[in-house]
Structure 1
Amino acid sequence: MTTARAHLTRDDLAPLARAALGRAPATVTRLRGGSKKGVYRLALDNGRTAIAYVWSPQEDYWGPADADIRDPFAHASGLGLFLSAHDRLTELGVRTPRLLFADEEAEHLPVFAAVVEDVRGGSLETLLRSDPGAARVPLARLAGTLGVLRECTAPGYGKAALVEEGGKPLGSSCEQVVADRAVRDVEELAGRDPRVAEVARPLAERIRELYDAVRPRDSASLVHGELGPEHVLVTEEGDPALIDIEGLMYFDAEWEHVFLRLRFGPAYDVLRTAELDEDRMELYRLAMHLNLVAGPLRLLDGDFPDREPMRDIAESNLRQVLSLLPGAS
């Protein structure tokens, strides 16, 4: 039986709130859903609210992880990655909650933290479910945001902070990094699930076949990296505001669009673009499904609390993986 993790209290967050907002919060509410950082709503006695992001081992259910910034898919967490991504998106005019304060010296908590604007319009995920008609405007504007990101290119790929500092990533290309990780996921999953063990060889062969079909490319686009509708808030003006931006990187736009298609379902038609390479889409689709099995299962090795939804994600994506094998019915 696991012990519940200790989360921050009003008293814990009071020094950070005073530095950012000028006064201690009247109430503090920890928001659900995060697995890498703590997200807390700070409510003041004058009616103002703000959001605190806290990067702490107590808030990170993935546990100690390889944080080599040269790996595009390394653990995307931390104040440094957040600030770099926030600066880049702001420069491009891409809406994200406004930064109010960054505790870069861990002065007001024992860990790094930031305070940002509280966008109170809810998530695009909730709006799509409750009022699809009202979601049309932010969804269309999100398509415009994706166009801005796609047109922001760099000759190299990797985490935005690395590329913009002139660093060199691991690997030789986006497709090579994706294919190699997919093969590793197959090897890991073969030891976890007999259904994967039975088809491990044809799965690895299929990955290499799809990889061989991809033509080289000499630039990469800016992508969020995990842009589901739950990572898009809606402002009072109906604008989409991107959150969980620490994974921002220069990569193939196809990687983003495979995830968008998976997470947005029928609403993806508004976000679709003709400027994508189908060979990359095929490789990335299989690789994405594999990682959405391997990742949740790794998370469940620890004490992540919302276990059933994570099991459902792994199982549904495993079914997709098996359906993508040649000859699958």
Structure 2
Amino acid sequence: MSRVFGSSYFVARVSRMHGGAQKVVYKIECSNGFSCVLYVWDLSMNYFKEEKENEDINEQSYGSHLFELNNRYLTQHGIQTPALYDLNKVRDRYSFDYALVEYIDGRMAETYFHHPELRVQDKVFQRVGEMLTAMHTHERHVFGKANANESSMGQCHLLQMENAKVQLAYASQHIEKIRSNQSKLLDKLYELESKIQPRQQYGFIHGELGPDHVMVNDKLEPFLIDIEGAMFYDIEHEHSFLQMRFGDFYRYLKNDALDHDRLLFYQFHHHVSLTSGGLKLLHRGFPDQQFAQGLADYQSERALRFIEG
């Protein structure tokens, strides 16, 4: 803190913040009233370590290099995200990368689902919708990371196709209903994919944009967090996730120009992937075991609905 901000920044308190399953997050409070956030990318503390070590370059969503890249891209294009004060990738004293990031004094967007004032709700989610539209309208003909400049081979949805097969195989080992319907679920995956027409136009997406990945400050301004997975991709991938996570509040975020076949395919993929994700959190000691079990149960039921009738 002294090196980055100066000798008057004495650390008074460090507290672990609610974080995801991949990086560790702390709030640092100084005696002079200043606060910031410490991000730690320690792969040994990542609940998806095995997957991250074997991830395809076009699917990578973990690491300080991606945070730095996407922080710069979003900031340059007017999409609000906490400022990056300092990033340390030297690893001379520690085996991990870490960063000091702006602390947004506010609440996650999901807390506004239950806000008593409709006027406030409208303002918050309209602004989230405007931010989302602005981000998605940054387009190019190549899918992948913001710094990718070579033409990508194939269609981006095929990456999710292969991922769905892997996650379905994992889920079938642990959930009886998935195991007994595995062939039907696989057939449905192929059926949904077969309806997708080729495309070479991709928007910039967050990649996992739930209401817990939007911080809202005291001026009701939204900021994107957990941005490592952002990239150019089918925006239907994002919207299918938004529909699921924002529920009734998706009406503020909707886009009437989406490809319906892509939406259905990505919806199905999310249900299968999140079923497997919940199981892995359950099996790997995630602190909130009730959440992990509930995630696996709910998403498996949603996936099975695709083959009913």
TM tier, shorter chain?
over 0.9
Report if the CA contact (8 A) 1:106-1:113 is conserved: no
Change beyond 3 A, Cα 1:211–1:218: same
Instruction: Indicate whether 1:259 and 2:265 are aligned.
Output: no
Q: Matches of 2:186 and 2:117 in 1, distance apart?
A: 40
Instruction: Indicate whether 1:165 and 2:148 are aligned.
Output: yes
Instruction: Indicate whether 1:212 and 2:194 are aligned.
Output: yes
TM-score (norm 1): 0.88
Report the residue type matching 2:121 in the other structure: A
Question: Deviation string for 1:220-277 (max 9, x for gaps)?
Answer: 1110000000100012322110000000111110000011010001000110111200
Which blocks of at least 5 consecutive residues in structure 2 are unaligned? none
State the number of aligned residues: 306
Partner of 2:84: 99
Q: Matches of 1:21 and 1:236 in 2, distance apart?
A: 24
Match of 1:54 among 14, 35, 40: 40
Instruction: Indicate whether 1:228 and 2:228 are aligned.
Output: no
Instruction: Indicate whether 1:21 and 2:5 are aligned.
Output: yes
Alpha-carbon shift at residue 179 of structure 1 (Å): 1.9
Q: Matches of 2:77 and 2:23 in 1, distance apart?
A: 25
Question: Deviation string for 1:285-307 (max 9, x for gaps)?
Answer: 11110001011212222122111
Change beyond 3 A, Cα 1:307–1:222: same
Which blocks of at least 5 consecutive residues in structure 1 are unaligned? 1-16
Alpha-carbon shift at residue 132 of structure 1 (Å): 5.7
The Cα RMSD (Å) is: 1.8
Identity %: 28
Q: Matches of 1:67 and 1:211 in 2, distance apart?
A: 27
Q: Matches of 1:307 and 1:228 in 2, distance apart?
A: 20
Instruction: Indicate whether 1:121 and 2:106 are aligned.
Output: yes
Partner of 2:275: 293
Instruction: Indicate whether 1:325 and 2:302 are aligned.
Output: no
Alpha-carbon shift at residue 70 of structure 1 (Å): 4.3
Alpha-carbon shift at residue 59 of structure 1 (Å): 3.2
Q: Matches of 1:196 and 1:49 in 2, distance apart?
A: 47
Q: Matches of 2:186 and 2:246 in 1, distance apart?
A: 28
Partner of 2:135: 149
SS of match in other structure, 2:11: coil
Change beyond 3 A, Cα 1:132–1:101: farther
SS of match in other structure, 2:158: helix
Question: Deviation string for 1:172-231 (max 9, x for gaps)?
Answer: 212212222222222222222110111111111111111111111112111000000010
Report if the CA contact (8 A) 2:83-2:102 is conserved: yes
Report if the CA contact (8 A) 1:124-1:135 is conserved: no
Instruction: Indicate whether 1:77 and 2:81 are aligned.
Output: no
Over 6 Å off, 4+ runs = none
